[in-house]
Chains A and B, each alone.
Chain A
Amino acid sequence: MQSNTKGRKKIDINDYMVYIIFVVVLTIFAVWLGGTFFSMSNILNITRQAGATAVMAVGMVFVIGLGHIDLSIGSVVALSAMIIAMILRTTNNIILALAAGLALGAVVGAFNGFAVVKLKMPAFLVTLGVSSVIRGIAMWTTNTKAVPIVNKTFNHWFGAGDVGVVPVLFLWTILALALGYFVLEWTPFGKRTMATGGNYMASKYSGVKVELITFQVFIIMGVISALAGALYAGRMQTARWSYGDGVEMDVIAAVVLGGTSMAGGNGSIVGAVVGALLINMINNGLVIGGFNTAQQIIMKGIIIILAVALGSVKTKKRA
C-alpha cells in the first residue's frame, strides 16, 4: 500500500487558535491596564461574568456539532429566570422553582427539536421565531417589571456566592466543562452526535437514531439555557425579561472560536469554554479601559471577526 494519509499536516494550528488568541488578548489587556485588570479579584470577576455563557457554550457545541443552530437560548434564559424568581417569591421553594425553570427549557427544546426533525423546518428559522415568542412571554409575565430574589441560599448557589475564594459560577463552568467533555468524548451519545453532524445519511445507515439524537440535543440545549437563566437570576439577585438579550451571539462566537465547525461533525468543549472566557474578558477589559457601551460593542464585534478570521485562514490549496 502506498501512503495512507494525504499529505496534510497532522497538527492543525486552528485547533489551538482560541488558546493563542486568549493569551494574546490577556497579555495586551494586562500590559495596557495593569493591576486594575490583571488582579485576582478582577479575574475571578471575569469568571463570574462568563459563567452563564460558558455553560451554554457547552450545550451549543453539541447543537453546532450536529450541524444545527439554536437562537432561542437567550429568550429561554429570560423566561426561565422570570419563572424561577416568581415561584421563589410565592413559595420560596428552590427545588420547585428550579424544576419549573428547567421544565420550561425542556419544553422549548422539545418544540425546537420537533419542528426540526418532524416538520423538517430549518433550525435557524424555528429558533429565531421561538426566540421572539419566548421573549414576549417573559415581558408579559410581569409587564416588564423586574422580580427581586431574596432567597439567600439560591443567590449563593446560583450566582453571587463563593466557595473559599472560588466563585460558585466558576464551579458551574467547571462542572459543565467536565460533564460536556465526558459526554462528547467518552459516551456513545457524544460520538453519535458528531457522526450525525459529519455525515447524516451514513450515520442513519449505521443504525444511529439520527432523529432521536437531534431531538435530544435540542432538549438538552433548552435545559442548559434554563439553567443559565437561574445563574443570571442568582448573580443579579433579580430576574428581568431582558436577560440574555443577544447572548446567543456570544455563545455561538465562543463555540466557533473554540474550534467547532459551523458545518458540523466536530467540536471542542474546552475550546468553547475558553472562547466564552475570552469574550467576557474582552467585555471586561474594554469596560476597565474606559470605553463607553457603544465603543465596547463595536470593539467586541471587530475582535470576534478578527479572531474567527485568524482561525479560518487555512492553506488555500491542497499541496
Chain B
Amino acid sequence: MSDAYAISLEHIYKSFGSVEVLKDVNFHLVKGTVHALVGGNGAGKSTLMKILTGVYTCDSGKIVVDGNEVKIRNTKDAQKNGIKMIFQELSLSPTMTVMENIFLANESVKGIALNKKEMYRRTAELFEELHIHVKPTDKVKDLDVGVQQLVEIAKALSVEAKVLIMDEPTASLTEKETNTLFRIIEQLKEKGVSIVYISHRMKEIFRVCDKITVLKDGEIVQERNKEDFTLDSLIEVMLGGSVEKQMKYIPRKEPIGDEKILTVKNLKVGNRVDGVSFELRKGEILGLAGLMGSGRTETLEALFGLRKKEEGTEIQMDGRSVKLHTVSQAIQSGFALIPEDRRRQGLVLEHTLKENVVLPNFKSVMKGIRIDRNKVRAMTEEAIETLAIKTGSVEAGMLSLSGGNQQKAVIAKWLNTNPKILLMDEPTAGVDVMAKAEIIDIVRKYVAKGNSVIFVSSELSEMMAICDRILVYHAGKIKQEFEREKIESEEQLEYAIQH
C-alpha cells in the first residue's frame, strides 16, 4: 500500500526552542497527484516542507520515500531522493545569466570546460516546452519578477524530480503566466511527478489540486479530496471562525466629498507609464487594477520619487503644483509607500521590530540631540497595540515574525509618519487570510480619518472589498474606470483586466 505514496511523513514533531511548531503531523502524498497544503502563516506549512527538503531536520518522526524509510539531513539528501522545492523567495543569482542559473551546481561539461552550447540548447528547449520567452543568455536581474519566477520553476524542472514542492508559485505571475504554470503542472502529473502545492489563493487550489490538507497551529485539522470541500467550507476549516465580514464591501456611511487631494496629469514614466491622468479625493481609496507590468507599480514609485517622471507630467496636491523628484520630497508632501517586496524594500530584516518602526520617524523620538528610548518603545508598543502585531516584544527580530506581522510592521512604520496619502503595492501578498482581513481593516480606519489611499493589488476580491473607485491599467494607460457601486461582480472586473 505504501508504494502508492511518493512520500509519507509520519508522526513528525518539530520545536524551535520551547515553541512546538509541528505536532504529530502525518502527511501522505499519492504518486502523480497535486496535493495542496493550506493554513494561515505560522501554521507550519513551510516548516514541514523545509523538513522534507532537508533545510531543517525533525525532532522525531519518519520520512518514507517510495516505501523506504530515509534520513534527510541536508538539501543534498533531499535531492538524492528526487525531492525538489521551488521557493517563495527567489532563489536565483541575479548577476548570472538564465542558463547559468538553470545549470548551477549541475553544469554540463566537456572535459573540464563548460559545454555552453549544450547548456544553451537545453535551456532554450526547456523554455520552448514551457512557452517561456526568455533568452538563455539574459541576466536574471534584467528580467521582470514574474518571468524570474517562471525561470525558477524551469530550473526545478531541469533536474528530474519525483516530488516537486511549490510554495506560492503564482504570487508574482500574471494570469497568462499562471495558465502556463498550470499547463506545466498537468504535464508533470502525466509524467508521474507528485506535487505539494502551497498557496493562499483558494481558487487556484481548487483548479489544480486533487487533495487538500489543512494545517493549523502545527497540526493537521483536515485532509480530504478536493471534491469534498467547497470554497466556503475550506475557508471555514482554515480559520475556524469567520472573517467573511471584513472581506465584504462595506458601503460608505458618509459619502466622500469632492475635495481633491491629488491631481495627476499626463504621468509618463520611461516606457512603462504612458500619459496617465487621475484624481484622488480626500478620504478615498483608489484601486489600480491590471496585469503585472501594466504600469501600476511604476505609477506608485513615480509618485514616491523613486522613478523619474518624463517631461510634461504634472502633479498637484491641494491644487498646488508639487515636485516629487526624491523620496524625501514625497514624504514631506505627505506620501508613504508600502512597497511590493517587503523583504527587500520594506524592512531591514536583520533588525528588530522597534528599529524598523522607528526608521522613518527619528524626528518624533528625539530628545535634544539624542534618541529617547522610551519614546521609541512607546511608539512601537502603540503600533503593536493598534495594528495587532503578534510578537513577544518590541525587541523581537523581524525574521521571527510571520509574513502578515512583518507587513503590519511596514504599515506601522509608515503610519507613524502621518501620511496624507498612503500608496500600497500588493499589501497582502503572501499573507494569510486572517492578517489580510486585519490589514484591510487598518486601511479602512485610516481613510475614515480623512486620509487617502492608492491601492494596487492582484487580488480582485480585496479590491472589491475596499476600493471606492478602480482604475484598470493596460500597457501603461488607463483603459477603464469603475465606480465601486457600478461593479456587479469580480468577473466583470476580471474581464476588464483581461481584455
| A199 partner residues in chain B, CB cutoff 8 A | 91-94
Query: Is B105's CB under 8 angstroms from A187's CB?
Result: no
Query: Is B142's CB under 8 angstroms from A187's CB?
Result: no
Query: Is A208's CB under 8 angstroms from B104's CB?
Result: yes
Query: Is B293's CB under 8 angstroms from A5's CB?
Result: no
| A7 partner residues in chain B, CB cutoff 8 A | 270-272
Q: Does A127 contact B (CB under 8 A)?
A: no
Choice from B96, B144, B177 contacting A3 with Cβ under 8 Å: B144
Cα distance A266–B94 in the bound complex, in angstroms: 10
| A197 partner residues in chain B, CB cutoff 8 A | 95
* Beta-carbon contacts under 8 Å, A137-190 to B: 182, 185-188
Query: Is A198's CB under 8 angstroms from B93's CB?
Result: yes
Query: Is B93's CB under 8 angstroms from A195's CB?
Result: yes
Which of the segments B32-40, B57-65, B108-116, B235-243 contacts the partner chain? B108-116
With A7-B270, A207-B75, A207-B76 given, is the CB distance from A198 to B107 under 8 Å?
no
Q: Does B395 contact A (CB under 8 A)?
A: no
A-contact 0/1 string along B134-151, CB 8 Å cutoff: 100010001110010000
Q: Does B461 contact A (CB under 8 A)?
A: no
Cα distance A199–B91 in the bound complex, in angstroms: 8
Q: Does A314 contact B (CB under 8 A)?
A: no
In whole Å, how far is A197's beta carbon from the nearest beta carbon of chain B?
8
| B189 partner residues in chain A, CB cutoff 8 A | none
Q: Which residue of B lies closest to A190 (CB)?
A: B114
Cα distance A8–B94 in the bound complex, in angstroms: 15
Query: Is B101's CB under 8 angstroms from A195's CB?
Result: yes
Q: Which residue of A lies closest to B109 (CB)?
A: A188
Choice from A186, A194, A261, A319 contacting B93 with Cβ under 8 Å: A194
Query: Is A4's CB under 8 angstroms from B133's CB?
Result: yes
Q: Does B291 contact A (CB under 8 A)?
A: yes
B interface bracket (residues with beta carbon within 8 Å of A): 35 or more
| A195 partner residues in chain B, CB cutoff 8 A | 93, 96, 100-101, 104
Query: Is A186's CB under 8 angstroms from B94's CB?
Result: no
| A265 partner residues in chain B, CB cutoff 8 A | 93-96
| A208 partner residues in chain B, CB cutoff 8 A | 104-105
In whole Å, how far is A187's beta carbon from the nearest beta carbon of chain B?
6
* Beta-carbon contacts under 8 Å, B314-370 to A: none
Q: Does B475 contact A (CB under 8 A)?
A: yes
In whole Å, how far is A206's beta carbon from the nearest beta carbon of chain B?
5
Query: Is A205's CB under 8 angstroms from B107's CB?
Result: no
| B116 partner residues in chain A, CB cutoff 8 A | 186
Cα distance A124–B385 in the bound complex, in angstroms: 43
Q: What is the interface size of chain A, counting residues whose CB is below 8 A from a CB of the partner?
A: 35
Cα distance A188–B99 in the bound complex, in angstroms: 12
| B492 partner residues in chain A, CB cutoff 8 A | none
In whole Å, how far is A66's beta carbon from the nearest beta carbon of chain B?
12
Q: Does A135 contact B (CB under 8 A)?
A: no
Q: Does A201 contact B (CB under 8 A)?
A: yes
Q: Which residue of A lies closest to B150 (CB)?
A: A1
| A118 partner residues in chain B, CB cutoff 8 A | none
Q: Does B306 contact A (CB under 8 A)?
A: yes
Cα distance A318–B138 in the bound complex, in angstroms: 19
Query: Is B106's CB under 8 angstroms from A207's CB?
Result: yes
* Beta-carbon contacts under 8 Å, B79-94 to A: 79, 85, 87, 90-94
Q: Does B307 contact A (CB under 8 A)?
A: yes
| B308 partner residues in chain A, CB cutoff 8 A | 317-319
| A318 partner residues in chain B, CB cutoff 8 A | 270, 306-308
With A8-B142, A191-B96 given, is the CB distance from A2 to B293 under 8 Å?
yes
Cα distance A207–B134 in the bound complex, in angstroms: 24
Q: Does A240 contact B (CB under 8 A)?
A: no
Cα distance A192–B93 in the bound complex, in angstroms: 10
Q: Which residue of B lies closest to A197 (CB)?
A: B95
Query: Is B177's CB under 8 angstroms from A206's CB?
Result: no
Q: Does A43 contact B (CB under 8 A)?
A: no
* Beta-carbon contacts under 8 Å, A49-105 to B: none
Query: Is B96's CB under 8 angstroms from A198's CB?
Result: yes
| B106 partner residues in chain A, CB cutoff 8 A | 206-207
| B105 partner residues in chain A, CB cutoff 8 A | 188, 192, 203, 206-208
In whole Å, how far is B272's beta carbon from the nearest beta carbon of chain A?
7
Query: Is B147's CB under 8 angstroms from A4's CB?
Result: yes
Q: Which residue of B lies closest to A205 (CB)?
A: B91
B-contact 0/1 string along A25-39, CB 8 Å cutoff: 000000000000000
With A4-B134, A198-B94 given, is the CB distance from A207 to B293 under 8 Å?
no
Choice from A6, A188, A194 contacting B95 with Cβ under 8 Å: A194
Query: Is A187's CB under 8 angstroms from B112's CB?
Result: yes
With A7-B272, A207-B79, A317-B306 given, is the CB distance from A187 to B138 under 8 Å?
no
Query: Is A3's CB under 8 angstroms from B293's CB?
Result: yes
Among B95, B134, B138, B292: residue with most chain A CB under 10 A: B95
With A198-B95, A205-B75, A205-B87 given, is the CB distance from A191 to B104 under 8 Å?
yes
| A201 partner residues in chain B, CB cutoff 8 A | 91
Cα distance A197–B104 in the bound complex, in angstroms: 13
In whole Å, how far is B146's beta carbon from the nearest beta carbon of chain A?
8
| B293 partner residues in chain A, CB cutoff 8 A | 2-3
Query: Is A5's CB under 8 angstroms from B92's CB?
Result: no
Q: Does B176 contact A (CB under 8 A)?
A: yes
Query: Is A4's CB under 8 angstroms from B138's CB?
Result: yes
* Beta-carbon contacts under 8 Å, B126-171 to A: 133-134, 138, 142-144, 147, 155
Q: Which residue of B lies closest to A265 (CB)?
A: B95
Cα distance A315–B94 in the bound complex, in angstroms: 19
In whole Å, how far is A254's beta carbon from the nearest beta carbon of chain B?
20
Query: Is B114's CB under 8 angstroms from A186's CB?
Result: yes
Cα distance A186–B291 in the bound complex, in angstroms: 39
* Beta-carbon contacts under 8 Å, A252-310 to B: 261, 265-266
Query: Is B92's CB under 8 angstroms from A202's CB?
Result: yes
In whole Å, how far is A204's beta carbon from the nearest beta carbon of chain B?
7
Closest 5 CB pairs of A and B: A265-B95, A198-B93, A319-B270, A202-B91, A207-B105
What 16 additional pairs, Cβ within 8 angstroms, besides A5-B142, A186-B114?
A1-B174, A2-B294, A6-B143, A7-B271, A185-B114, A187-B114, A188-B109, A191-B107, A194-B95, A197-B95, A198-B96, A199-B93, A202-B91, A205-B85, A265-B95, A318-B307
User: Could you write out 6 A-B pairs with CB less than 8 Å apart?
Assistant: A2-B292, A4-B133, A195-B104, A202-B91, A318-B270, A319-B307
Chain B residues close to A by CB (< 8 Å): 55, 75-76, 79, 85, 87, 90-96, 100-101, 103-107, 109, 112-114, 116, 133-134, 138, 142-144, 147, 155, 174, 176-177, 269-272, 291-294, 306-308, 475
Chain A residues close to B by CB (< 8 Å): 1-8, 182, 185-188, 191-192, 194-199, 201-208, 261, 265-266, 317-319
